[in-house]
Structure 1
Amino acid sequence: MLCSICGTRPPAGSDGRCAPCARTAGPARTRASSTPAFIAPQQWLRSPEGLAKAVVVLLLVVIGADLLAVAADLNLRSLIDDGLDFGPYGGFLAIDQAEADRADLFYAGAGVLQLLTTIATAVGFIMWFWRVRANAEIFDSSAQPMRPGWAIGGWFVPVAGLWLPRRIAGGIWTASAQTNTDGTWRQVSHAPINQWWGAWVATLLFGRIASQRYDQAEQPQEIMDAASMMMVSDLLDIAAAILAIRFVRELTRMQGERAALGLFPLTARF
């Protein structure tokens, strides 16, 4: 049997309520009447744990695709370097055409895999981000700097998308950090957010520059240099994915702890 108010902890008394709910909810109420009339039922808390696990798996797949891309970059560099060993142009005549075709196919295939995994991860991440933003609105709406819809729309605004999601994430983090049992605020470092977002922005900007450099490269040395830049971009993406995993897991854990306290006027369904 669980608390008749929050449904997350065993009851502490004969009225069927747990200790935190008994302190904050006032007179005993049944589960059917525990939600105030002015609160819409769809505003109940929803656990982000399932989505968080899916996002972590997708981010791991992204890391795998990035590692494959790094291998493709190294393979392309090695092939071009072998040609340059025999002179700026003549050495390439000695390179086996089948080997060159395999290198091109490997590079292109790695790029397609990166694109597909990035799209899938972006969809999953935004779904999780929307979920934790909805919970944060219940935890503390006053800590949210923007309306809930921006948790999705903020990612697609040109230029402003480089900081709007970070601003929204800060509000979610603040609302989810109030985990002291007496209802007071607990100070939690924003380092996971800052590190993840800094790496993500660096990946976007450097990746755009590296991609343009590769598209414009014509001479062998230019192609090799551009491949080196793409390799750095892939490594930055790996770092951003690792930091994103940390951010997702930390925020999901914090929201679970916050929901367990029941210090908000809604019935939790975690």
Structure 2
Amino acid sequence: MTSAPYRFRPINMLGATTAQWLVFVAIGEGVMAAWSVADIFVLSNLDTLSQRTLDAWSLTGLIGFVHIALYLTTVVIAARWIYRANANTQANLRKLETPPSWAVGWFFIPFANLWKPYKAMAEMARANRRSGTNLPLGPWWAAWLISGIVGNISARLAFSSSDPSTLMTSSVLGVIASLAGIAAALLFRRIVTTVTEAQTAKLQAEVF
């Protein structure tokens, strides 16, 4: 239990920004899924495609760098939202086991990041849940883990070998990871908007 004092601050703008960037991430994951499908097609037709086509296709790898930049930007914004939502909850005398700093920090600790972030998020989100509202915490975390773990395996396979068969497996796993990423982004967006609305309503009630 934490005894540090926290201030309740408006979260509506940060919540709206986070929700918007999560939509961007979902779109980006969709593009990555389509790219992986196209990779599968190319790898399946290496013998029939011209060298010029293959050279042009190799340039599409730049899409991956754009996706990484988009993802990292969203991570920073989402981390700010998680910190603020947790701090607001504790400022409302709803003491949580996980302080704001660790609600964010656990995402970056190996092995512990397999369950600790979910525990912190679930505790905070449920404390802000409105009556009758169901939050997709379990599905979100499952999709998040699948996206991260499968995506990591896909990347390792792609960088470890140039064998077409291995690259094909990497692309198939890439499709799975991207589809899970779309689900994770949209489910987390629902959690963000629900908690943001609850905290904004409470702030307005206290003002009036």
Q: TM over 0.5, yes or no? A: yes
| CA distance, structure 1, for counterparts of residue 40 and residue 125 of structure 2 | 43
In structure 1, what is the equivalent of residue 196 of structure 2?
Answer: 252
Residue 56 (structure 2) aligned to one of 95, 102, 112: 102
In structure 2, what is the equivalent of residue 153 of structure 1?
Answer: 105
> Which entry has the higher C-alpha Rg, 1 or 2?
1
1:236 equivalent to 2:190? Answer no
In structure 2, what is the equivalent of residue 16 of structure 1?
Answer: none
Residues 153-212 of structure 1: per-residue CA shift (max 9 Å, x gap)? 2222111122222222122223323x6xxxxxx5754x4222212211121111112222
Residue 70 (structure 2) aligned to one of 98, 117, 120: 117
Residue 174 (structure 1) aligned to one of 126, 138, 158: 126
Structure in which a larger fraction of residues adopt helix:
2
1:73 equivalent to 2:65? Answer no
| CA distance, structure 1, for counterparts of residue 126 and residue 24 of structure 2 | 30
State how many pairs are aligned.
205
Paired residues for 1:21-32 under 5 Å: none
In structure 2, what is the equivalent of residue 131 of structure 1?
Answer: 84
Superposed CA RMSD: 2.3
The letter for the 1-side match of 2:180 is L
Cα pair 2:147 2:176 within 8 Å, conserved: no
Cα pair 2:154 2:169 within 8 Å, conserved: no
Offset, 1:214: 2.2
Extract unaligned runs of 5+ from structure 2: none
Offset, 1:247: 1.0
CA gap 1:113/1:253 in 2 versus in 1, 3 angstroms: same
| CA distance, structure 2, for counterparts of residue 246 and residue 147 of structure 1 | 22
Cα pair 1:65 1:110 within 8 Å, conserved: no
Question: Secondary structure of 1:149's partner?
Answer: helix
The letter for the 1-side match of 2:69 is L
Question: Secondary structure of 1:141's partner?
Answer: coil
The letter for the 2-side match of 1:245 is R
In structure 2, what is the equivalent of residue 10 of structure 1?
Answer: none
Offset, 1:222: 2.5
| CA distance, structure 2, for counterparts of residue 69 and residue 217 of structure 1 | 20
Range with bigger deviation, 168-177 or 95-104? 168-177
Cα pair 1:139 1:176 within 8 Å, conserved: no
| CA distance, structure 2, for counterparts of residue 212 and residue 135 of structure 1 | 39
| CA distance, structure 1, for counterparts of residue 66 and residue 167 of structure 2 | 21
In structure 2, what is the equivalent of residue 183 of structure 1?
Answer: none
| CA distance, structure 2, for counterparts of residue 73 and residue 173 of structure 1 | 34
Cα pair 1:217 1:226 within 8 Å, conserved: no
Percent identity at matched positions? 22
Between 1 and 2, higher relative CO (CA 8 Å, sep ≥ 6) is seen in 2
| CA distance, structure 2, for counterparts of residue 236 and residue 69 of structure 1 | 12
The letter for the 2-side match of 1:219 is D
| CA distance, structure 1, for counterparts of residue 67 and residue 32 of structure 2 | 8
The letter for the 2-side match of 1:54 is T
Extract unaligned runs of 5+ from structure 1: 1-38, 84-90, 180-185, 263-267
Runs (4+) of structure 1 exceeding 6 A deviation are: none
